[in-house]
Every structure is written in structure tokens, then in C-alpha cells.
Amino acid sequence: MTELEKKKQKDKRKFALISVCSLCIFFTVWYIATAVMHLMPDYCLPSPVQVLEAFIYKLGNKAPDGGTLFQHIVASLKVALSGYVLGAVIGIPLGICMAWFRRIDLFVTPLFDLVRPVPTIAWIPLMILWFGIGLGAKAAIIFVSAFIPCVINSYAGIKQTKPVHLWVAQTFGASRTKMLFTVAIPTAMPLIFTGLRISLQAAWTTLCAAEMLAANKGLGYMIQLNRSLARADLIIVGMLTIGFIGTIFSAGLGKLESKMVKGGKKG
């Protein structure tokens, strides 16, 4: 009967192989369509080899967009992280207060609902007019994009505290402040982390848009400028870098989450 086990393993290997083949075919088709058949001109879709070359070239060269890949990454990270940290530091406590104190809830929630439906991207022009095109405007936009999911999720997290748990704490004579820190916030932890993850993604996306509209450094700027130069190879390098850094971020937060959140996601 270990046959069943064996079959399972064989299946697993088979499907992994299919996955690898699928990726290989993807790249081969891409290569053949571009480098061999030239179905699209190079400035529209370069071959994977050209993208790789462009990547290596970009590691050490500033041309044509005024910065090496590394410099662009650093510029983007600086903006993204400053706005993101600010959004989380203000957004999470605000969300918690909104959910915990009735009066704040009643007063702030309508205001928040008023602002929330406007996508963060629509804030970009206003922020540029208010703060110019320096670090300030971009950080402010990232702040808005990170702030909103942080508030929503920490609010929802505190609101889902079970009254039973609060009653238990009450019978032990816990004060309201103590209950907030020992019962409500731990309950909200998983959702607060969800908020952190969503807002990190939102921040990263918004950053691209902000840099495309107003910047002279950064990954968003890099892909936008290379569009006007019709350098698709560098655009793709930029896109892949953006995607890659986004993935690293969410993986890092996932690790942090599994360390910080005790007792699992549900229950």
C-alpha cells in the first residue's frame, strides 16, 4: 500500500515538471517570437536575452535615465518607506482609537468615509500642487495610500473582539485601558497585519504612479522615461524589479507576521 504514497510523490514530481516546462515554453516562445521571427520590433518587445543584457548594463550605467538600477531602487525605497512608516504609525493607532472609543468612532468615521472612496492615485495632482515635486509630495501620497488600509483593518480588528473575552477580563478586574492592551489589541493583531500587508502593496503601487508623474529618480520614473525613449528592454527590467521588490516586501511581512501573531489566524 505504499503504492499510494509512491503515486502521490510521482504525481508531485510530474506536476512540478509540467510547471518547469511551462515556464521554459513561455520563455522559448518569447525568444522565438522576438529574436528569431521578429514579430514585434525590438523597441516594443525585446527578446528575453536583450532584457537580461539590459539588466546587466543597467547595474553599472546611468544612461539613458540618469541613474543606475541600484540608485533608482534606493530612491524609490526611500520614498516608499518614509510614507509607509508614517501611514502605519498614524493609521494603526487611529484605527484602534476609532474602534475603541465611541465618541471618536462617531465623529471620525464619517469623515473617514468621506475621504476613503477617492483612490490614492487621484491625490497625486493635489499633493504635487501642495508640496511640489520633491520627496514631500510623494511621501504624502504614499502616506495616504498606506494610511487608509491601516485604519480600516485595525478598526475592523478591534471591532471583532468578542464581548465574552471582555467580560472575562472585566471579572478579573481589568481596567478599560488594560483590556485594550491585553484583550482587544491581541485579538486585532492578525487583521492589523493584513492591513500592513495591503497598505505595503498599495504604497508600492502608488509609488510607481507618483514617480511616473513627477520625479527625476526612482523605478517609476525609470520606466516612464524609457517609454519616451522607446527602450522596452529597460522598461521590462524596471517592471520586473518593481515586482520583485514587492514580492520581497510581502514575504518579509509574512515572516514577521508569523512571528508576532500568536495563536493562529482564526479563533
CA 199 – CA 153 distance, rounded (Å): 10
> Which distant-in-sequence residues (6+ apart) come within 8 Å of 224 by Cβ?
211, 212
- Choose between 40 and 260: whose C-beta lies nearer to other proteins: 40
| Contact between 148 and other proteins per CB under 8 A | no
- Choose between 175 and 247: whose C-beta lies nearer to other proteins: 247
Question: What b-and-e string marks burial along 140-169, b requiring 16 or more CB atoms within 10 Å of the CB?
Answer: bbbbbbbbbbbbbbbbbbbbebeeeebeeb
| Contact between 128 and other proteins per CB under 8 A | yes
Q: Considering only 13-21, 161-169, 178-186, 253-261, which stretch makes contact with other proteins by CB under 8 A?
A: 13-21
Q: Which DSSP letter does residue 216 get?
A: S
Q: Considering only 61-69, 74-82, 128-136, 169-177, which stretch makes contact with other proteins by CB under 8 A?
A: 128-136
Longest dimension (CA), the chain: 77
Q: Considering only 78-86, 164-172, 208-216, 255-263, which stretch makes contact with other proteins by CB under 8 A?
A: 208-216
Q: Which of residues 54-83 bind other proteins (CB under 8 A)?
A: none
Q: Provide, rounded to whole angstroms, the least separation between the CB of residue 254 and other proteins.
A: 13
- Choose between 80 and 196: whose C-beta lies nearer to other proteins: 80
CA 260 – CA 190 distance, rounded (Å): 9
Q: In this structure, which amino acid lies at residue 51?
A: V
Q: What would the DSSP string read from start to end of 158-180?
A: HHT--HHHHHHHHHTT--HHHHI
211 in Cβ contact with 138 (< 8 Å): yes
Footprint of other proteins (CB under 8 A):
1-2, 4-5, 11, 15-16, 18-20, 22-23, 26, 40, 43-45, 103, 106-111, 114-115, 117-126, 128-130, 201, 204-205, 208-209, 212-213, 220, 223-224, 226-227, 230, 232, 235-236, 238-240, 242-244, 246-247
